[in-house]
């Protein structure tokens, strides 16, 4: 087992001006499950491939343990990688697929069989060892790919969106299996996904990237409760956080009659570049349905109600004083998402009034996007 360290690691593809990965500084503890997450093109897979030795490092260094592996060949890095595509040999049995890397390395047959059987037992594949990949389901094939990595007993597992090819139910089931398997084996794991729900449910820590730049690193709870900037706030959480731009007046953020008191420390951090405004974030569960009489309430016209059994979410359009406000969410511009009582949902086209619960706001600079609260 080993730690992994990216020390100002940079990857610049030929013919491009902006690095795909820009000065990445990240330390992963021994035995930790770290998830790299972000939108397409953010540099997460490139970072993983740099660690694997499949991409050149144009600046900085990468360490596995105390060893600088920046210029070390992939085969000599003691890592095992699981890809989005299972990449199994169709003419080989499950056992032969799992033990192929060991066979190439010249490992004795008895040792190969022992390791394959141990991995198969962990992955519930013992009864499939003599089958060919075509006789397996998608989830079983992915477990074979996992087994191929496990038998190598590497210092680090690298996983590049291994669940993308699975259907929704199987994806949930397999991500639970992968997380519990990693904890049982205790192998340092770097896992890449664009699915923030996957990141929140699997990782010990999450690293969020955007345009090749590291935005924030922390536990799933850190990411949810104290996002470092507007991007992380809008990216982490399902449904997404609502974000609105408010004018600051007399120590409060105001739009029309709606007023949100701000702490003195927050007001003191507002600069000239912010032009007297702040971005206020509030999650769907931070809103409560109230009456029109509430002085801080604002009107929302219901467009869609998403009923999920234990939860229900209203996707609506702002009306009244906030109709012209700069508000956006995962539903789009001038749209707001509200979590409501699943046993008492409003009808489509109905107008409801909601207010932000005190202490449930996230305040960001409009100029830099950085957290102020």
Give residue 329's pLDDT.
77
Give residue 190's pLDDT.
97
Q: Whole-prediction pTM value?
A: 0.90
- CA-nearest of 51, 23, 47 to 155 is 51
Q: Do residues 11 and 20 make contact, with C-beta atoms less than 8 angstroms apart? A: yes
- Considering the four listed CATH numbers 2.40.50.140, 3.40.50.720, 2.40.110.20, 3.40.640.10, the one that applies to the domain covering 239-365 is 2.40.50.140
Q: How confident is the model at residue 157 (pLDDT cuts 50, 70, 90)?
A: very high
pLDDT tens digits, 208-235: 999 999 999 999 999 999 999 999 999 9
Q: Where in the chain is the domain with CATH 2.40.50.140?
A: 239-365
Which residues have CB under 8 Å from 81's CB, separation 6+? 48, 52, 149, 157, 158, 159, 160
Chain-centroid distance of CA 92 in Å reads 35
* Backbone φ/ψ region at 23: left (φ over 0), alpha (ψ -120 to 50), beta: left
Q: Do residues 144 and 88 make contact, with C-beta atoms less than 8 angstroms apart? A: yes
Q: Where in the chain is the domain with CATH 3.40.50.300?
A: 4-232
Assign domain 4-232 to its CATH superfamily.
P-loop containing nucleotide triphosphate hydrolases (3.40.50.300)
Give residue 322's pLDDT.
64
Q: Which of 327-332's residues contact partners 24+ apart within 8 Å by CB, and which partners? A: 327/242, 327/243, 327/244, 327/245, 328/242, 328/243, 328/244, 329/234, 329/239, 329/240, 329/241, 329/242, 329/243, 330/234, 330/238, 330/239, 330/240, 330/241, 331/239, 331/303
How much is the average pLDDT of 3-18?
A: 96
Q: How confident is the model at residue 3 (pLDDT cuts 50, 70, 90)?
A: very high
How much is the average pLDDT of 297-308?
A: 90
pLDDT tens digits, 64-117: 999 999 999 998 999 999 988 888 999 999 999 999 989 998 999 999 999 999
Is pLDDT larger for residue 170 or for residue 119?
Answer: 119
Residue 226: Cβ within 10 Å count = 14
Residues found in the chain: 373
How much is the average pLDDT of 238-264?
A: 85
Which residue in this structure is represented by tokens 């192929």? 100
Quick one: CA torsion of 78, 197, 36, 331, rounded to 10 degrees?
Answer: 150
């Amino acid at each position: 087992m080993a730690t992994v360290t990216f020390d100002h690691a940079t990857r610049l593809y030929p013919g491009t001006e902006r690095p795909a990965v820009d000065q990445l500084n990240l330390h992963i503890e021994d035995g930790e499950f770290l998830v790299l997450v972000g939108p397409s093109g953010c540099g997460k897979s490139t970072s993983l491939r740099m660690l694997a030795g499949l991409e050149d490092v144009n600046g900085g260094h990468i360490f596995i343990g105390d060893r600088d592996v920046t210029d070390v060949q992939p085969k000599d890095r003691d890592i095992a990688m699981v890809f989005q595509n299972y990449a199994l040999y169709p003419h080989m049995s499950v056992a032969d697929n799992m033990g192929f890397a060991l066979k190439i390395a010249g490992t004795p047959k008895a040792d190969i069989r022992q390791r394959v059987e141990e991995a198969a037992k962990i992955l519930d594949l013992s009864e499939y060892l003599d089958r060919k990949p075509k006789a397996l389901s998608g989830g079983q094939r992915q477990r074979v790919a996992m087994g191929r990595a496990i038998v190598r007993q590497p210092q680090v597992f690298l996983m590049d969106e291994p669940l993308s090819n699975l259907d929704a139910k199987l994806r949930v089931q397999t991500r639970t299996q992968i997380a519990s398997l990693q904890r049982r084996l205790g192998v340092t794991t770097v896992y890449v996904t664009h699915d923030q729900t996957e990141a929140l449910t699997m990782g010990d820590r999450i690293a969020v990237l955007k345009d090749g730049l590291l935005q924030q690193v922390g536990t799933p709870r850190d990411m949810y409760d104290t996002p470092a900037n507007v991007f992380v706030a809008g990216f982490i959480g399902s449904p997404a956080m609502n974000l609105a731009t408010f004018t600051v007046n007399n120590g409060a953020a105001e739009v029309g009659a709606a007023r949100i008191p701000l702490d003195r420390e927050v007001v003191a951090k507002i600069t000239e570049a912010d032009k007297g405004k702040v971005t206020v974030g509030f999650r769907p569960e931070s809103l409560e349905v109230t009456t029109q009489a509430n002085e801080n309430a604002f009107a929302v016209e219901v467009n869609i109600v998403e009923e999920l059994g234990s939860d229900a979410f209203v996707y609506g359009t702002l009306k009244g004083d906030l109709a012209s406000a700069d508000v956006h969410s995962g539903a789009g511009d001038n749209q707001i998402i509200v979590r409501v009582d699943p046993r008492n949902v409003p009808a489509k086209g109905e107008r409801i009034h909601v207010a932000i619960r005190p202490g449930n706001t996230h305040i960001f600079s409009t100029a830099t996007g950085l957290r102020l609260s």
